[in-house]
Chain A
């Protein structure tokens, strides 16, 4: 079992290495101009240089801040609104089609509207991130309420639970696995929207920094920034996965 996992891990490393080698070869043979595609070695050097100089850290922190606050707003609202909708089957049936309409809307399309209403402000950014990243968590929470086993509803009735007690002790914990999966998805959306938002609104952050490097044809720096996005996305998803594993401990059978 453990050996199998190690083999798979090894294979995925080999695959990643193969991509980097291919990238390096493309640059070496001049298949694509280094102005558009610098070799990975230079992108790496640019990344190390910028990190060592400490010039990237403030931007990274700003982007993390946008992403995290936006995600926090989305998660809180997603669970809260999802509970309000989920608690009543009638409301659920009534609002479900509308939610399905909002969900696939590309949130980045909201930037022009939000800019018109809120201006080029940090709040505008948070509103769009919060709104865009809301849906996976909200829909998962609604669904988590809908999937409470009929037997558990009976037990709740038999014990004489109040509606409030039912929501907090039965329905919400039941929705938890799905809501957490939704929060993991919404984290990715929050990152995407933070970057897009910074580019569109000129708020400081890694997104804006990357755009400026592109405009100045400093492609190694541009690629360094993109690599960093990958790292941020990966690490934040890992953190939520860790949280999921801890909070959903009860599902495991060791």
Chain B
């Protein structure tokens, strides 16, 4: 077990406040099949922020993510990316889905799956190869470049999906319970890896999870939602130093305090 080194500095709170808004939701309602899924959501995600979204299942976390991805238009209100309304998916906003098995092309090798992004961009074949290798190396899949997804473990398939998103060179990551289907060991490894990748590139992250400890461990801020209809209920700032450490961080009083608060928040519904 090695401690991942993360170069990202701890930002003073006021600096975080000053960063421009990457993703902005304003008065957002979503109605699907005559059902009010989201009601009056106001939420800003600032540039460079790692925002974790928690809440009971069915509270509209994924719907909020799909709005940010441009996969779904709001029924009312506005969703903006860097101040401009989102109407279509953008290549610099990457989405990591939980069901990596369905999100990859099973008939393409690991390298082929990454290549898809570059092909879609219209990059000449000669340029693609080295780029693909670079991206696969970043997630530790270079030795498995010629394997098909079915030949990779679940953790490796999720790494591959992350690699494909890396190829998009995203400014924003939208992650929908990306590690929910993985075993604890793999999940921990990937959590540290995603923090390293994000720190290196300074990207904004919108991370949906139902795992409270994961939210605290990863996030700069945890936003909690409530269901029926889905709405933003409370925001928790995570004032834990970075780089975070697998063993030390969860033992800090601040971590334990937040964990207690979040459990209380979730329990309040029952």
Contact of A152 among B90, B91, B105, B168 (CB under 8 A): B105
The residues in B between 139 and 158 inclusive whose CB is less than 8 angstroms from any CB of A are 148-151
Q: Beta-carbon contacts of A151-182 to B below 8 Å, as 1s and 0s?
A: 11011011111100100011001101000000
Q: Which 9 pairs of residues, A with B, have the shortest CB-CB distance?
A: A151-B102, A250-B148, A158-B89, A173-B107, A250-B107, A159-B120, A253-B150, A149-B102, A161-B120
- Is B116 a contact partner of A250 (Cβ separation < 8 A)? no
- Is A160 a contact partner of B107 (Cβ separation < 8 A)? no
Complex Cα spacing A178 to B107, Å: 14
How far in angstroms is the closest Cβ of chain B from A173? 5
Interface residues of B (CB under 8 A from A): 69, 71, 89-91, 94-95, 97, 99, 102-103, 105-108, 116-117, 119-120, 148-151, 168
* Given A165-B119, A253-B150, 12 extra CB contacts under 8 A: A151-B97, A151-B103, A155-B97, A158-B89, A158-B94, A161-B120, A173-B107, A174-B107, A248-B107, A250-B106, A250-B107, A252-B150
- Which one of A154, A173, A174, A176 has the highest number of Cβ atoms from chain B below 10 Å of its Cβ? A154
How far in angstroms is the closest Cβ of chain A from B114? 11
- Is B120 a contact partner of A160 (Cβ separation < 8 A)? yes
Complex Cα spacing A249 to B151, Å: 11
- Is B91 a contact partner of A160 (Cβ separation < 8 A)? yes
- Which one of A157, A159, A165, A254 has the highest number of Cβ atoms from chain B below 10 Å of its Cβ? A159
Complex Cα spacing A252 to B150, Å: 7
- Is B107 a contact partner of A159 (Cβ separation < 8 A)? no
Is A251 in the interface zone, CB < 8 Å from B? Answer: yes
Complex Cα spacing A161 to B119, Å: 9
Contact of A253 among B94, B97, B107, B151 (CB under 8 A): B151
Interchain residue pairs with CB less than 8 A apart (30): A151-B97, A151-B102, A151-B103, A155-B97, A157-B71, A157-B89, A158-B71, A158-B91, A158-B94, A158-B95, A159-B91, A160-B89, A160-B90, A160-B91, A160-B120, A162-B120, A165-B120, A169-B105, A169-B116, A169-B119, A176-B107, A248-B107, A249-B148, A250-B106, A250-B107, A250-B108, A250-B148, A250-B149, A250-B150, A251-B150
Closest B residue to A173 by beta carbon equals B107
How far in angstroms is the closest Cβ of chain A from B79? 15
How far in angstroms is the closest Cβ of chain A from B32? 15
Q: A158-B95, A159-B117, A169-B119 are in contact. Are A251 and B103 (CB under 8 A)?
A: no
The residues in A between 117 and 160 inclusive whose CB is less than 8 angstroms from any CB of B are 149, 151-152, 154-155, 157-160
Chain A residues lying within 8 Å of B119, measured Cβ to Cβ, are 165, 169
Closest A residue to B102 by beta carbon equals A151
Closest A residue to B152 by beta carbon equals A253
Complex Cα spacing A110 to B214, Å: 67
Chain B residues lying within 8 Å of A250, measured Cβ to Cβ, are 106-108, 148-150
Chain A residues lying within 8 Å of B103, measured Cβ to Cβ, are 151-152, 155
How far in angstroms is the closest Cβ of chain B from A133? 25
Chain A residues lying within 8 Å of B90, measured Cβ to Cβ, are 160
How far in angstroms is the closest Cβ of chain A from B158? 14
- Is B150 a contact partner of A159 (Cβ separation < 8 A)? no
